[in-house]
């Protein structure tokens, strides 16, 4: 029986990054993955393939709508969806192969099969044709999450689908109904709206991306409406069924009346839930909370002292980069170091176009906590680079402490917001003030000047270009 310092169950961003860091710190490491490819949901059926399709569909949209304004006349444009999906597959394969290479480079032993606890230090690995057992001083649970559903929805994976099936469509939907106005639904809805689908979003709450600053959801709604989306808020889905080549979604509207939505596809995008099936948690005395998560302390340690858990399977936002930070945190903790994670400074991003990003306190949170703050905001339409690239939708909003001027939150919607949010994270990690950022030179012309102008606006209304 092979013995390891650390065994990691799950090879998503949390698991494989933790394996690399453990190996860097001199530990003997094993990683266990039940599927034939490494990378988990993110690399195989989540972050990476969806971004590949978002980029491809954005190119198609620009070719059909904006190239002519730039003086580029292409004539007849034809969509090859099969090639678009095939390219997505190539992107996924390149990333997955990269993880395999990193495991080999760092001398991490990879086991393919379902990992389950025999006891606190022994793990059974059940593959298709054989079973193995290994021993590990420490184990890290990094098994991720899977799509959630709600009662009354019959997911047949053909017409009523999840995000996984939406990544491999054989045709562009004529009318795509999306249940849920969160990140995943809006991103995949963007893909098919750009390719010509009519997209209708049914949302239970009163706003898009409700966990982010409300100003972002309002602006995103305006932009996506211009792109052809239709939104139905405060609508409660009762049933979703397939009849032939049609999906019928029955909904209770704001007046309490039952109405029907009909389309050729329905994407169920109501969030994700932790995945712990088959782990054998009962064998080691671990139980789950009311939301199916593994309980951990502030050091990501479970009630069994040599077992840790990270990523989507524990509390907090279900984000790949959050899982990565936790994977490194546990590895360094096991090595006797004193790492830290400031969960308030883990950014959230929506990869629509324009992109949406936020970090720190939202304005709603500051009001609830009674914190005194000031606001600086600056629109993309007043930015030279945005005008040059025809990306004038959106704004950057900076929230700063009313007394100290320390930046408390940054929320942005606009071109390259996913990249620009990193400046806000750096600033807030170092407790910067809005004045600090306002006095730093930002290259001209760039989108990042919108961040500087928003900070100027937060410091005595000093924005220069509006």
Q: Which residues are catalytic?
A: 444
Residue with tokens 């009849």: 243
């Amino acid at each position: 029986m092979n013995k390891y310092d650390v065994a990691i169950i799950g090879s998503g961003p949390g698991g494989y990054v933790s394996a690399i860091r453990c190996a860097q710190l001199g530990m003997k490491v094993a990683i266990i993955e039940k599927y034939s490819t490494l990378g988990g949901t993110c690399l195989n059926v989540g972050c990476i393939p969806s971004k590949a399709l978002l980029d491809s569909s954005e190119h198609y949209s620009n070719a059909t709508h904006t190239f002519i304004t730039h003086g580029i006349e292409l004539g007849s444009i034809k969509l090859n969806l099969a090639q678009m999906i095939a390219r997505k597959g190539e992107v996924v394969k390149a990333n997955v192969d990269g993880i395999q290479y990193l495991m080999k480079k760092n001398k991490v032993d990879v086991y393919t099969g379902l990992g389950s606890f025999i006891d606190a230090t022994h793990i059974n690995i059940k593959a298709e044709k054989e079973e193995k057992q290994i021993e590990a001083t420490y184990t890290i649970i990094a098994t991720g999450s899977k799509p959630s559903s709600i009662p009354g929805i019959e997911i047949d994976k053909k017409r009523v689908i999840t995000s996984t099936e939406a990544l491999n469509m054989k045709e562009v939907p004529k009318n795509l109904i999306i249940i849920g106005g969160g990140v995943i639904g809006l991103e995949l809805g963007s893909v098919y709206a750009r390719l010509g689908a009519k997209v209708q979003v049914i949302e239970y709450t009163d706003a898009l991306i409700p966990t982010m600053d409300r100003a972002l959801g309002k602006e995103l709604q305006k932009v996506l409406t211009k792109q052809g989306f239709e939104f139905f808020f405060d609508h409660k889905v009762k049933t979703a069924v397939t009849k032939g080549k049609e999906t019928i979604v029955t909904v209770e509207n704001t007046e309490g009346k039952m109405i029907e939505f009909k389309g050729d596809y329905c994407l169920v995008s109501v969030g994700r839930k932790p995945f712990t099936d088959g782990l054998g948690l009962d064998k080691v005395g671990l139980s789950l909370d009311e939301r199916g998560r593994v309980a951990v302390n502030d050091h990501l340690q479970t009630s069994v002292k040599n077992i840790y858990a990270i990523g989507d399977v524990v509390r907090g936002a279900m984000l790949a980069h959050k899982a990565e930070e936790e994977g490194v945190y546990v590895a360094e903790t096991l090595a006797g170091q004193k790492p830290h994670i400031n969960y308030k400074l883990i950014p959230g991003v929506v990869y629509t176009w324009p992109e949406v990003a936020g970090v720190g306190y939202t304005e709603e949170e500051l009001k609830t906590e009674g914190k005194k703050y000031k606001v600086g905001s600056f629109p993309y339409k007043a930015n030279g680079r945005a005008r040059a690239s025809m990306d004038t939708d959106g704004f950057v909003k900076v929230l700063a402490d009313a007394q100290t001027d320390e930046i408390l939150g940054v929320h942005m919607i606009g071109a390259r917001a996913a990249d620009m949010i990193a400046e806000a994270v750096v600033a807030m990690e170092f407790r910067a003030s809005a004045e600090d950022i306002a006095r730093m030179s930002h290259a001209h012309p760039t989108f990042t000047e919108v961040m500087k102008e928003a900070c100027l606006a937060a410091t005595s209304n000093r924005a220069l270009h509006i």
